[in-house]
Structure 1
């Protein structure tokens, strides 16, 4: 890989880290307009308890306060890019109220898949696993 290619890959990885951090900020703030722009129409989340939520279910639950992110701090985000797809993996500290039940701050692994649509990157799949 040439140095130019390596620079481009590094810049793209940094851009994707920024997109993921913007997505997290939008979810914590329950800024649904911003969150919608960062989630593809085909988005699916697999929650730590194994439930599958599509985009409408997930963002609807955030909008209604059924999922209330109180804290979501991502650590170092690893990025792998293959054409118009990218996978991000990171450990994060998360505190959430889910269905009115407070879930204490804990560590989770997150794996997110993004796809490029035009010049924009949008999350298509996401999975969170609690670290015991």
Structure 2
């Protein structure tokens, strides 16, 4: 089976942008569709969150994305899996503390399950002020 790589790359990019939009809008029901049941997030401070913990924090208001602006999304395929990487600017409120607009690297692993791409792992790394962007 041949796959149109450009089309699949765009499909994953569109999926990631839709996932981010759902997270920023706080639409947990929509966001759940883009996260596998076994999804895990590694936060910029090294905490590990399951899908339920992550989306639960958004639903409760403990975590509120104010903006999430991705730059160009690079995509690599590995059979029925893909890895994406991009820089983004985020502003967030976490536990009542406002984290101003800052730069982050994002690396996400997607798998093709039940006819669609879903995020299975995600890791965010803060870009320090002294490092080149």
Under a length normalisation based on structure 2, what TM-score does the superposition of the two structures give?
A: 0.93
Paired residue for 2:90? 94
Paired residue for 1:62? 58
Q: How far, CA to CA, are the matches of 2:86 and 2:2 in structure 1?
A: 22
Residues paired across the two proteins, number: 128
Give the CA deviation at 1:46.
Answer: 0.3
**Unaligned 5+ runs, structure 2:** 129-133
Q: How far, CA to CA, are the matches of 2:48 and 2:78 in structure 1?
A: 25
- The alignment's C-alpha RMSD in Å is 1.3
Q: How far, CA to CA, are the matches of 1:18 and 1:44 in structure 2?
A: 20
The alignment partner of 2:4 has SS state of: helix
Structure 1 stretches of 4+ with a deviation exceeding 6 A read: none
Give the CA deviation at 1:119.
Answer: 1.1
Give the CA deviation at 1:88.
Answer: 0.4
Greater helix share, structure number: 1
Deviations 1:2-21 (A, max 9, x none): xxx99700110010000000
Paired residue for 2:23? 27
Under a length normalisation based on structure 1, what TM-score does the superposition of the two structures give?
A: 0.94
Q: How far, CA to CA, are the matches of 2:96 and 2:34 in structure 1?
A: 26
